[in-house]
Structure formats: structure tokens, C-alpha cells
Amino acid sequence: MNGADIMKDYRKEIEEIVSEKYGENAKYIMKAISDDLDYIGWKIKLGRDDDAIQYEMEHVLAMADRINNTKLTPVTAKVGDGATVHFWSDSHAGTIIKVTKSTITVQRDKATLDPDFKPEFIPGGFCAHCTNQEEQKYTYERDPKGELYTFHWSNKYNSYGQPGDLMATSGRREFYDYNF
């Protein structure tokens, strides 16, 4: 059996596993892991051994689990779930308040920064560089008066987006980029 046939077998096996495990969400997951499957195909063409290929398959299936648990898709978007609105380097936490066939509407939540967080700056950049900004922690509460964002599903990009490079992802995460 040549490399192309072996890859077809591996791809088919992964598709079956993902389809059985994730149902309707499988098509979005398969699109998200497509590049990784191509990488496995490249390794097969190079004649990598079965153990290496098996390791790569396990990696791809673990990635499918992560994607299923974290990626916002038309199958996983539910009213009341948390979402994050990504700007260029900042992010705002919100709640999905409306879902249609091709859009979601996210309303910004009230995010309160942990008062114990103190940004640490060192000289650099325009005036200083924050070295601990990844340690920001917030508490969240619904804000019925919060700003509204509507995102459209893009089959091309396999994600919810808005003109101007805004994106929505699953889960709440507020983040302020002190270095921008």
C-alpha cells in the first residue's frame, strides 16, 4: 500500500471517530484539524514509521477534543453561554443572548479585575513593558445594558467574525493588553 492509500485510511478512520464522538459538530472539527491531517499525510509520504503516525493521530484526536470543548460553532453556540469578543489585542467577556442559523449576538458582561492584580512594568517599548499581564484575573456578571456585538458564521474561516477583524470564541475571558 502506498503513502496516499495509507493516508486515506488514516483520514477515514479519524473522520469516523470524530463523527461518532461529536455528531453534528464533527464537520467543523474536521475543518479545524485539516492542516494537521495534511501534516500526517506528509509524514506518511516521507516514510515515517507506524509508531510516529500513531502518535500524530493521537495528537489530532486530542486536538479534536479541545476544539469540541472550546470552539464556538453553529452547533455549540447556545443562548446563555459565555463568549469572548476578541479585538486586536484586547478581549471582552460576554454572554450569547441570541442565536440564529448564521449569526450570534453577544452582550458584553461586567468584568471586574481582581484587586490583588498589580501590573509590573519595566522600561521598554514606548514607555514601559508590562511583564505580568497574562496573570490578570476577572470576575464576571451579566450586564443587561452591556454593548451588543453580532457575529456572522464564516464557512471560509470556520469561525464567528465581524468586519474589522473582530471574532467571537467560546468561554468568557477579559484581557487588557497593557503593552499595546
The residue extents of the domains of the chain are 3-70, 82-170
Looking at residue 63, its amino acid is M
Pick from 35-44, 91-100, 113-122, 171-180: least confident:
35-44
* SS3 state at 102: coil
Residue where the block lists cell 464522538: 21
Pick from 7-16, 42-51, 61-70, 137-146: least confident:
42-51
Cα 32 to Cα 180: distance, rounded to the nearest angstrom: 29
Dihedrals phi, psi of 154, to nearest 5 degrees: -115, 115
pLDDT over threshold 60, residue 79: yes
pLDDT over threshold 90, residue 125: no
Pick from 46-55, 136-145, 157-166: least confident:
46-55
pLDDT for res 1: 53
pLDDT for res 129: 84
Rg of the chain, C-alpha, whole Å: 20
Cα 23 to Cα 168: distance, rounded to the nearest angstrom: 22
Average pLDDT in the chain: 87
pLDDT for res 109: 97
Largest Cα–Cα distance in the chain?
Answer: 62
Mean pLDDT of 87-100: 94
